[in-house]
Chain A
Amino acid sequence: MKVATTRFGELEITEEQIYTLVTPIPGFPATKSFFFIQKEKIAPFQWMQSIEESGVTFVVVEPRHFFHDYFPKIGMTELKEIGLDKVEESLLMAIVVLPEDMTKMTANLRGPLVINSVTRAMKQVFIENERWTVREFIVEGIRRKEQFALSEKAAEEGKP
């Protein structure tokens, strides 16, 4: 099928590429279907393009790529809604905001998208944990990840 997009022009996609929200994400009540656009140039980021609204495009990323210790507690109810039993079976995506100053790029870790990659059902869930906010600096995540890797390495070398 052909999809009109403001940003990329007309694109041809297949049914298998369509991901459906079980409930619309807050702020965008009129859009339920999206597809992902991956390009080497922007990896590990991807675009998430709305099918119903040609002008709605998000930049998303798998949060653990930058935040190694991101294991939010996701309710059973919400997992069930997308047809999953365990959080390990889900794919997480965080919506990214890219301001003018790219070093201030943030990921929304309070409202991740939880995805069933088999049925392609998804939902934006709310994490009721003060630790993760809607604006987590990606630079900060990278810094913590590097520190963690260094401390792991030090611990490894310290072993007899």
Chain B
Amino acid sequence: MLVLSRKLEESIMIGDEIEIKVISVQGETVKLGITAPRSIPVHRKEVYEEIERENIRAAGTGREIEKIDLMKHIIKGK
């Protein structure tokens, strides 16, 4: 992993089109500004991880779905 030190308002470039700039630093929070072409999706890593966890969790449930009167169960929960 390449490790770089940056000060406030300083940037790094990834290739010619992606710029990541340090906007502010407050305590433990660093605010970053990202400029990238629209063709490059930018996501916080935890969103990806959260979806990954939920996918894995989902694949392990619902085995007995057909044995249960779904709508009755859902409506009962109101």
A contacts, CB < 8 Å to B: 7, 25-28, 39, 41-42, 45, 47, 56-59, 75-78, 95-99, 102-105, 108, 110-111, 124, 126, 128, 134-135, 138-139, 142-143
Q: How large is the interface on B (under 10, 10 to 19, 20 to 34, 35 or more residues)?
A: 20 to 34
Tell which of B40, B44, B52, B66 touches A27, judged by Cβ atoms closer than 8 Å.
B52
- B54 near A95: Cβ-Cβ < 8 Å: yes
Tell which of A56, A98, A128 touches B43, judged by Cβ atoms closer than 8 Å.
A128
- A103 near B51: Cβ-Cβ < 8 Å: no
Question: Which residues of the partner chain B approach A57 to less than 8 Å between Cβ atoms?
Answer: 59, 62
- B51 near A126: Cβ-Cβ < 8 Å: yes
- A42 near B70: Cβ-Cβ < 8 Å: yes
Nearest A residue to B64 via CB reads A98
Question: Which residues of the partner chain B approach A78 to less than 8 Å between Cβ atoms?
Answer: 41
Nearest A residue to B48 via CB reads A26
Question: Which residues of the partner chain A approach B77 to less than 8 Å between Cβ atoms?
Answer: 102-104, 139
Nearest B residue to A137 via CB reads B77
B contacts, CB < 8 Å to A: 38-41, 43-44, 47-59, 61-63, 65-66, 68, 70, 73-78
- A27 near B53: Cβ-Cβ < 8 Å: yes
With A102-B70, A105-B74, A143-B78 in contact, do A27 and B61 touch (Cβ < 8 Å)?
A: no
Question: Which residues of the partner chain B approach A76 to less than 8 Å between Cβ atoms?
Answer: 38
* 16 residue pairs bridging A and B, Cβ less than 8 Å apart: A7-B63, A25-B55, A26-B48, A42-B70, A57-B59, A77-B41, A98-B61, A102-B68, A102-B73, A105-B73, A105-B74, A111-B55, A128-B44, A134-B50, A134-B53, A142-B78
Nearest B residue to A50 via CB reads B59
Question: Which residues of the partner chain B approach A59 to less than 8 Å between Cβ atoms?
Answer: 58, 61-62, 65
- B48 near A126: Cβ-Cβ < 8 Å: yes
- B47 near A97: Cβ-Cβ < 8 Å: no
Tell which of A45, A56, A97 touches B57, judged by Cβ atoms closer than 8 Å.
A97
Nearest B residue to A104 via CB reads B77
Tell which of B50, B51, B65 touches A124, judged by Cβ atoms closer than 8 Å.
B51
Nearest A residue to B39 via CB reads A77
